[in-house]
Structure 1
Amino acid sequence: MSAPQPRPNVLAIPAYVPGRPPTPREGLTTYKLSSNENPYPPLPGVLAAAEQAAAAMNRYPDMAGIDLYAALSARLGVPASDLSLATGSVALIYQLLQAFCEPGDEVVYAWRSFEAYPIAAAVAGAASVRVPVRADGRHDLDAMLEAITDRTRVVLVCTPNNPTGPAVTQTELDTFLAAVPSHVLVVVDEAYVEFVRMSDAVDGVATYQRHENVVLTRTFSKAYGLAGLRVGYAVGPAPLAAALRAVSLPFGVTSVAQAAAVASLAAEAALLERVDALVAERARVVEGLRAGGVDVPHAQGNFVWFGVGDRALDLAAACDEAGVVVRPFAGDGVRASIGEAEANDRLVEVASRFLG
């Protein structure tokens, strides 16, 4: 008798490769620039709210997320019925594909883009249709339109794009959405939206309000610094948000995560000052790289991208030797988060020496 076997699509799921911690170096402070984390520690008020919630860890969290839904509704100016919570925006991507894709349906997305997309598609039994990004790391929205077929159920637009960095403009997105068939769900993945500083930036909330087939996914992991607590949210028309809530894991978002997220929204002004500082540091890093002869795409997240192809592992190893660990994507390039000033200085020095 044979042993139990998982579904064939499960066996085909690619592994998610997380950013690894830095290698200890004697006499050298090491830094992790491999996971796009916010380098700032929690604000005291946010930490206090989390600690207070942790004192009741013997109780289940509020599955209805009443306080967090209310805070997000007020912050975004949308009804709570248009929202859905999950354990980070990546969980929402999984849930969207599970809710809207049948086995054999197609999911269209840019590549290289977020590493979880092909995994989520495989989990849902859907086929990935990868559309190469342009040479400058931007989405090729025209090619993505051409890739849509009768089997397409979902299109993922990652803006800013992780790991290459550029964001789509509102004009580009509007033109794209006008051409996408109305039965195809368009997911605008805005995990890094708070870091965008560009003309004609996408207004995600206004965009979903004009379309019945658009959902936004966002997270508290990046700008708000709650990566370790896992809380994200989707914004979309009420029927789509209801479908997401229907497939969500019961009690998935913990009491600690909910309390910290509510406190973060209350402290948003202070947190966004930190984001402004990271954006300024991003500009300094890009300027330093270009002064060192290194060209990088137009960075709009909290990271920069080195499209070095087959040299990715070598560049990552050189950074590791200097005490900064980055995220290599073998054969494509290297992504480096914007972190502490000293870490960023070392990154610029190593990359300029390696690539300049």
Structure 2
Amino acid sequence: MRTPRALAARLTTGLTAVLLLGACSTAAPTDDGDGGTSGPRPTAYASSTTTPPATSAPTPGTSSPTSSTTNPTTTTQPAPDPASIEALIATRFTAGDLRLGREQGSTSAYRQYFVTYESNGLTISGRINIPRGTGPFPAVVLAHGYVDPAVYTNGETMLRERDHLARHGYVTLHIDYRNHAQSDQDPRNDANLRAGYAVDAINAGLALKKASYVDPGRLALIGRSMGGGVVYTALVVRPGLFRAAVAYAPVSSDTVDNFDKWVRRDASRSGAARAVIARLGTPEAEPAAWAATSPRTYFGRITEPLLIHHGTADEECPLSWSRESVAALEARGKSVELDVYPGGRHTLTSPQWDTSIRRTEAFLARHLR
């Protein structure tokens, strides 16, 4: 069933974000896994040549946290923490062209290729489906959920979405993210709350816009689970890049929810928890520092309509997380829809998945006209 939109609820204490903290640990909600199963290079984010403002105390819905400077002519503001949304906003994105590799998995409706592109100094691998026929076509970037990078293989997830949308005339670019498959390694990514995944999604969108077979004005972003968090982050960091976005069973838009669920209370992740707390402090002691890593704090920047799919029996990401995100978005006057699937688990199965993809297709058609 489709839920009525909730009236704006109060924002959580300023500790508001998304994806990023399934981010600090190697454990996180898993993706559907519906497919088969080099040395460090520059991470190049926060690569702006200007010094961005400090990240002391974010004002929800604004592009910059507030700060007081008694003598602006002599005071140098510190650079924002690399895990913060401000650092991502200050990033100069440098997407390279898409490079098509071997063809594999083509059908009568589309051709499928191994693909790579440059993302701020790193090579990112993925899979692309290009509809047969005369373009340019609308396009979708697909951001997958958590799969252990040690076992993840190129393009192994979100096969259903890729196939369906390509058969209906969309170029679909499924990205592997840094540290996955044939992508370059970024040893700082976990310490930076995996903010690099959002950098890779943004650069994927910029790369698609340069492809001759893509209509640059008709671009969308779809993510599931951890990738739903990538969606939230990308929308607040680069408003206007995508025309619409869809999130399937997304992680919380409150960083602390994710940190507590997958890192802080897991004894096997105690080292990761200590490393993050050493940088940011505890959420209780340093709420402003944690809020600065949180896309929900910056929901006011979003300009794109968003559709969220979520099952009531999700065993990984509770439906309440999406309801809270919707309330926060509506409090900022944003266009958001939440479709709820009674009994639906973290990975929707047919016939609920079939309903969800039809709704996704209708949503994209409406907003990518």
Q: TM-score of the superposition, structure 1-length normalised? A: 0.30
Structure whose alpha-carbon radius of gyration is higher: 1
Pick the structure with more helix per residue.
Answer: 1
Q: TM-score of the superposition, structure 2-length normalised? A: 0.29
